Amino acid sequence: MNRLRAFLSALVADWRLQALLVLALLLGAPLLSPGTVQIASFVLIAAIFAQSINLLTGLAGQISLGHAGFFGIGAYCTGALVKTHGLDVTLGVPLAVLLAGVAGWLLSFPAKRVRDVYLAMMTLGFGMVFFEVVREWNSVTGGTMGLPGVPSAALRTLSILGVKVDGLAYFQLLLLITAGTMLMVRNLTQSRIGRAFYAIHISEIAAGSIGIPAGATKQLAYALSGALAGLAGALYAHLVGYLGPESFALPRSIEVLVIAIVGGLGSIAGQVLSATLFTFLPERLQVFAEWQFIAYGLILTFSLIILPKGIGGLLFEPPRFIRPRARARAAMLRADAAMLRPADQGAALEAERITMRFGGLVAVDDVSLRLEPGRITALVGPNGSGKSTLVNVITGIYRPSAGRVRFAGRDITGLADHQVAAAGVVRTFQDPRLVPHFTVRENLLLGAHRQLRHSGVAAVLALPGATAEEAQQLALVEAVLALADLTAMADRPIDTLPYGTRRMAEVGRALLARPQVILLDEPAAGLSEPEMERLTQLIRDMKAMGLAILLIDHHMDFLADLVDDVVVLDSGRMIYRGDIAGMRGDAQVIAAYLGDEAAHA
Amino acid sequence: MKISRRTLGLSATALSLPSLVQAQPATIKLGFTAALTGPFNEFGEGINRGAQIAVEECNKAGGINGRMVALAEVLDDQLVPDRAVQNLRRILDNREIVGLMCPSGSGPTLAIADMIQADGRPIINPQAQTPAIVYPNGLDKPPRPNLFSISISNTVESEKLAAALSQYSRVGIVHESTGYGVTGAELVRQELVKRKPGLRVTVESYNQRAQDMTAQLVRVQRANAEAMLVIGLGADFAVIRRNMSRLNMNLALFGAAGAVTMPYIEGAGDLVAGTRAVNHAAFGRRPMHGAAAKFVDLYRAKFGTDRWYGQDAANPLISLAATVGSGYDCINLLIDAIRRAGSTNAAEIVQALDQTRDFEGATIQKISFTPQNHVALKLEDLGTYEMLKRGDRVVLELRD
Amino acid sequence: MMDDFFFSLLLAGISVGAVYALIALGLNLTFWTTKTMNFGQGSLMMLCAMLTVFLSSQGLAMALAVFGSLLVVAAFGVFIERWTVRPALQASGGSMGWVVSTLGFGIFLQGVAAKYFGSQAVAFPDVVFTAQDFVTVFGQYVSLQYLVVLAVAVALILALELFVRKTVWGQAVHAVSLDPELALVQGIPVRRLVLGSFMLSSALAGVAGVLIAQIGGTVDPAFGFDLVLLGFVAAVLGGMGSSMGALAGGLLVGIISKLVGGYVSTAAEHGIAFALLMMALALRPQGLFGKAEVSKA
Q: State whether B37 and C215 contact (CB < 8 Å).
A: no
Q: Is C281 on the interface with A (CB under 8 A)?
A: yes
Backbone angles phi, psi at B51, to 5 degrees: -65, -40
Task: Please name which of A324, A282, A30 lies closest in space to residue A172, comparing C-alpha atoms.
Answer: A30
Is residue C246 included in any domain, yes or no? no
Name the residue ranges covered by the structural domains of chain B.
Answer: 27-153+306-380, 156-284+383-398
Q: What is the pLDDT of residue C173?
A: 81
Q: Is A246 on the interface with C (CB under 8 A)?
A: no
The arithmetic mean of pLDDT across residues B139-159, rounded, is 93
How far lies B256's CA from each of B190, B215, B253, B298, C56, in Å? 16, 21, 10, 27, 32
Average pLDDT across chain A, whole number: 88
Q: State whether C131 and B212 contact (CB < 8 Å).
A: no
Domain count, chain C: 1
Of C71 and A285, the structure prediction assigns the larger pLDDT to: C71
Q: What b/e string do you get for C107-127 counting C-beta neighbours within 10 Å, with b at 16 or more?
A: bbbbbbbbeebbbbbbbbeeb
Task: Please name which of A308, A321, A65, A18 lies closest in space to residue A182, comparing C-alpha atoms.
Answer: A18
Is residue C154 included in any domain, yes or no? yes
How does strand A361-371 pair with strand A517-521? unpaired
Q: State whether B209 and C222 contact (CB < 8 Å).
A: yes
CA atoms within 13 A on the CB side of C32: 28
Q: Which amino acid is at B161?
A: L
Distance of alpha carbon A140 from alpha carbon A99, whole angstroms = 15
Q: What is the pLDDT of residue C108?
A: 93
Is residue C244 included in any domain, yes or no? no
Residues from chain C that touch B216, judged by Cβ atoms under 8 A, are: 261, 266
Contact B29, B67 (CB under 8 A): no
Q: Is B218 on the interface with C (CB under 8 A)?
A: yes
DSSP labels, A7-26: HHHHHHH-HHHHHHHHHHHH
* CB nearest C122 (choices: B177, B218, B266): B266
If you count residue pairs, one on A and one on C, with CB atoms under 8 Å apart, how many are there?
Answer: 141
Q: What is the pLDDT of residue A300?
A: 82
Task: Please identify among residues 206-235 of chain C the ones whose CB lies closer than 8 Å to any CB of chain B.
Answer: 212, 215-218, 220-223, 226-227
B345 φψ region: left (φ > 0), alpha (ψ -120 to 50), beta (else): beta
DSSP A245: G
Q: What is the pLDDT of residue B20?
A: 46
Average pLDDT across chain B, whole number: 89
Which segments of chain C does DSSP mark as H helices, in order? 2-34, 41-57, 62-80, 86-90, 96-117, 144-166, 168-178, 180-185, 190-216, 225-238, 243-263, 269-283
Q: What is the pLDDT of residue B88?
A: 93
The three-class DSSP label of residue A139 is: helix
pLDDT at A513 exceeding the cut of 70: yes
Q: Which amino acid is at B101?
A: M
For CA atoms C127, C132, C133, C134, give the dihedral sign: positive
pLDDT at B11 exceeding the cut of 70: no
Q: What is the pLDDT of residue B83?
A: 86
Q: Is B273 on the interface with C (CB under 8 A)?
A: no
* CB nearest B118 (choices: A42, A155, A292): A155
Spatial CB neighbours of B127, under 8 Å, sequence gap ≥ 6: B43, B47, B102, B104, B105, B151, B322, B323, B326
Q: What is the pLDDT of residue A223?
A: 95
pLDDT at B18 exceeding the cut of 50: no
* CB nearest A244 (choices: B81, B113, B177): B81
β-partners of residue A518 are: A426, A549
Q: What is the pLDDT of residue A595?
A: 56
Strand (E) or helix (H) holding A569? strand A565-570
β-partners of residue C136 are: C141
pLDDT at A337 exceeding the cut of 80: no
Is residue C3 included in any domain, yes or no? no
Give me the interface pTM, i.e. the ipTM: 0.87
Spatial CB neighbours of C262, under 8 Å, sequence gap ≥ 6: B214, B215, B218, B219, C5, C6, C8, C9
pLDDT band at B5 (very low <50, low <70, confident <90, very high): low
Is residue C184 included in any domain, yes or no? yes
Distance of alpha carbon C47 from alpha carbon B263, whole angstroms = 18
The three-class DSSP label of residue B168 is: coil
Domain range for C157 is 11-95+102-221
Distance of alpha carbon C230 from alpha carbon C13, whole angstroms = 13
**B287 upstream amide cis, omega within 30 of 0:** yes
pLDDT digits (tens, 9 = 90+) for B278-336: 999 999 998 999 999 999 999 999 999 988 898 888 889 888 999 999 999 999 999 99
Q: What is the pLDDT of residue B289?
A: 93
pLDDT band at A546 (very low <50, low <70, confident <90, very high): confident
pLDDT at C38 exceeding the cut of 50: yes
pLDDT band at B7 (very low <50, low <70, confident <90, very high): low
Q: What is the pLDDT of residue B10?
A: 53
Distance of alpha carbon C246 from alpha carbon C289, whole angstroms = 9
pLDDT digits (tens, 9 = 90+) for A309-330: 888 888 888 888 888 888 888 8
Q: What is the pLDDT of residue A177?
A: 95
pLDDT at A442 exceeding the cut of 80: yes
Q: Is A297 on the interface with C (CB under 8 A)?
A: yes
Distance of alpha carbon A101 from alpha carbon C72, whole angstroms = 47
Residues of each domain in chain A carrying CATH 3.40.50.300 = 340-600
The arithmetic mean of pLDDT across residues B6-33, rounded, is 62
DSSP A83: I
Point out the least confidently predicted range of B30-34, C105-109, C128-132, C171-175.
Answer: C128-132
Q: What is the pLDDT of residue A597?
A: 53
Strand (E) or helix (H) holding A361? strand A361-371
Point out the least confidently predicted range of A501-515, B156-170, C125-139.
Answer: C125-139
Distance of alpha carbon B132 from alpha carbon B106, whole angstroms = 9
Q: Is C159 on the interface with A (CB under 8 A)?
A: no
The three-class DSSP label of residue B130 is: coil
Closest-CA residue of chain A to B38 = A290
* Planar angle of CA A444, A447, A452, nearest 5 degrees: 115
The arithmetic mean of pLDDT across residues C98-124, rounded, is 87
Spell out where chain B has E strands.
28-34, 69-76, 97-101, 123-125, 147-149, 170-176, 200-206, 227-231, 252-255, 276-280, 382-390, 393-398
Q: Is C297 on the interface with A (CB under 8 A)?
A: yes
Backbone angles phi, psi at A209, to 5 degrees: -65, -20
Helix axes A499-512, A440-447, angle to 10 degrees: 30
pLDDT at A130 exceeding the cut of 80: yes
Which own/partner contact pairs does A582-587 have at CB distance under 8 Å and 24+ positions apart? A583/A380
Contact B295, B338 (CB under 8 A): no
pLDDT digits (tens, 9 = 90+) for C210-262: 988 888 888 888 888 888 989 999 999 998 888 889 999 999 999 999 999 99
Burial (CB < 10 A; 0-12, 13-18, 19+), residue B304, is exposed
Task: Please identify among residues 66-85 of chain C the ones whose CB lies closer than 8 Å to any CB of chain A.
Answer: 83-84
Q: Which amino acid is at A435?
A: V
Q: What is the pLDDT of residue C193?
A: 87
Q: Which percentage of chain C shows pLDDT scores above 70? A: 96
pLDDT at A572 exceeding the cut of 90: no
The arithmetic mean of pLDDT across residues A426-431, rounded, is 89
Q: What is the pLDDT of residue A287?
A: 64
Task: Please name which of B132, B381, B162, B321 lies closest in space to residue B256, comparing C-alpha atoms.
Answer: B162
The arithmetic mean of pLDDT across residues A137-159, rounded, is 86
Contact A100, A227 (CB under 8 A): yes
Q: What is the pLDDT of residue A146?
A: 86
Q: What is the pLDDT of residue C92?
A: 58
Is residue C227 included in any domain, yes or no? no
Q: What is the pLDDT of residue A265?
A: 86
DSSP A449: G
As a CATH number, domain B27-153+306-380 is 3.40.50.2300
Q: What is the pLDDT of residue C296?
A: 46
pLDDT band at A226 (very low <50, low <70, confident <90, very high): very high
Q: What is the pLDDT of residue B21?
A: 46
CATH class of the region A340-600: alpha beta
DSSP labels, C218-235: EE-TTTTHHHHHHHHHHH
Contact A263, A272 (CB under 8 A): yes
Distance of alpha carbon C234 from alpha carbon C31, whole angstroms = 14
Average pLDDT across chain C, whole number: 86
The arithmetic mean of pLDDT across residues C171-186, rounded, is 82
Task: Please name which of B326, B295, B300, B294 lies closest in space to residue B313, comparing C-alpha atoms.
Answer: B300
As a CATH number, domain B156-284+383-398 is 3.40.50.2300
Determine the distance in angstroms separating the CA of C32 from the nearest CA of chain A, rounded to an integer: 14
